[in-house]
Structure formats: C-alpha cells, structure tokens
Structure 1
Amino acid sequence: MAFNYALLRDILLAVRAHQLQPWLFKLGQRVNIHDLFMKNYSVAIIFLAFTILGCKEKTDDYLISECVGASFYYLDNQSTANLLVDFGDPGLNQQIDTATVINSGQRKLVGQDASFGSIPPPTETFASFELYKLSGGKKTLVYKQDPVQNSLWFKRKQNPNDPDFGCQQVDYTLRVTDAMLK
C-alpha cells in the first residue's frame, strides 16, 4: 500500500500554521471516502478483500455432532422374595422410586443413564446398589454391590455388532437369585 505523502504534508502544514481548527477536523474536511478509495486503489482492494473474506460463513465449525450413548438398567428378580432397590447416588437419571416393590419373577427398569460419545456402564452410573427384602413392613438388606461391578450385569446391545462407544443403546440386567441374597 502506497503512503499518501500529500495527506501527511497537509496535516503537517496545518499543525505548523497553528490554525484554530484541529488537524483531525482539517483531515475530515480535506479527505472524503471517494478520494480515499479512488486515489488509493490498494486501500479499496484491501477493504473489499476483508469484507468478502469476513462474510464467508463456516457452519461446520459451529456444529457439534457428537452422539449420545444410552444405558438402561433392569433388575430381573428370579428370587422368591419381593425386593426394593436403593442407590447410593440420588442423582441417577430416571431412577426407580425406592418405594417400588419388584415382585418375584418380575423384570423391571430401575434406572437409565446417558453419556456423550460413550455408553455408560453400571460402574459409571451407580455409586452403590442395594436390594432390600420387605417383610412385615420392615426393610432388611439382602444384597449389596459397593462398589458396583460391571461383570455382574448382563449386557445386551440392540445390535450385537455395534461398538462399545458412540450412539448405541445398551440394556444392562442384574439377574437376582435366592443364592445371591443373604
């Protein structure tokens, strides 16, 4: 870009002459947009380049396309006792009400969880997992996982060929038998 020596000379002359008008006001009277762009083509080209490049929209940079993996947790009560479920973490998403009884022979959804880019296993969902037997209006602890163990939960994918990460849904089932209960 060429330097405008004439403009600089006019400013210096105005300052040297001690005119009453400030040199910026003098500059504003002396130079208009038309003169600036027509005499300095490089300024016009740079201005147009910034305008054109600045308006270029890149929507791909702003979109987040990460998927969510979902886990559903079931209790399959194959014992002879009616059971109540309790979790160590009260913040579990959509957990079963702890007053809900899971009858003998019943399979029931006890919780669900989701995570960006992965399928949360039971160890990431539950801090601990307890089963109580209800007899005579009294709760008695009959089973406890603390810490929770993934190996005790049967894992079933919607599609067996799906990987263990990403946008898949997985059902985890804890099968409870009389041999497991205290």
Structure 2
Amino acid sequence: MTGPTTAYYDVAVEPGMGFAGIRLRPGFFQCILGFKPISLREQTLVDDVAISACPPLATLCAETDTPEALHDRLIGFVRSRVGQDHAPLSRQTRRILSAFHASSGRLPVQDIARMHGLSARTVQRIVLDATGLPPKSYARILQFHRAMRLLRDHRLSPSEAAVEAGYADQAHMTHALRRFGGLSPARLADATLVTLRD
C-alpha cells in the first residue's frame, strides 16, 4: 500500500510472482482504506504493516491459481468498500481538482482560488485533504503526466513536449521525468500511464 508520493520507486518482481494493483482517484483513498491519504504520504506499507493499517486488506492475501482471480478479488474488495457512494468528494472539491487537471497543473493556486471565489489557503486545504499532497506537488505530478502523454502518445519531440507541458526547457522536463518516473524522454516505451478512466 503506497500513499501519495512525489518520487518513483521500484518493486522487485521475481519469476512466478503475480500482482494486481489499483490507483485511487482523489477522494477514494479514505473511503476504501479508512484513513486520510496525508497520513501515508511518501510512505509504502507492506505485508503485516499494511494489514495492521487496514485490516480488511487481509481478505486479499490468500493465494490464487490465476492472475485473473487476484484481479477479480481486488475489484470486489474496492467495490465493497466504496458501496453506493461513487462520488465521495464534495462538488466544490471536484471543481477545484478539475481545474488543476484541466490546466495540467499549470494554473497557480491563486488563479484557481479566484476562479472559484475562495482564498488560496482554502484551495490548499482542499487539495491536501483530497490528495494527501500540497497543491504544488499535485500540480507537478499532473504536469509530469502531461509531458509523458505528449512524448509517448502524441509523439512530440522532447523540446516540443517541454514547451507544451509548461516546463522552462527540455532539461527541466527531463529532470521531472527522472524524479517522478525514473524515466528519460528516450525511455518511455515500457512506461504505463493510468488515467482516471482506467
């Protein structure tokens, strides 16, 4: 179980090992795991430590014969924890996060606050509560995702992608790719991007 993080990490995978995972939309962390995302910021919990933080996770730990069975069990777990509430965020929080996404993290907090008739401090609190990250960190991750899509899906050159994603220059974007994904513009083919639709 990994909380909101601003750095990549590698997971050791051995032959014969299978795993399934989910990436939670903002607002779903607490309703599924039972605690606020900020309490797990920049942390990863494994094995018994993860189960002690969220005891219902123990139901996921039995062996399976197929990867599909593990996938189905995980989906069932998430659905049972979400229940009928498919929009745990308030309307205001959804609008604030949508503004961050629509601008790919390029709009300053003050501008987003002004657009919604709120103080910058209120926007900061809303983002931190929903994502577990300060607005600047959240915006940088959105900007990183945009750069990855521009490079991989739209096949822009690194310099074009840097400009379009809002980086100062190509070196600035390359630094962000390394920090957030352990990648470089030349090494994107094996990267998987998860979107809010997946």
Scaled by the length of structure 2, the TM-score of the pair is: 0.19
| Structure with the higher fraction of residues in strand conformation | 1
Structure with bigger gyration radius: 1
| Structure with the higher fraction of residues in helix conformation | 2
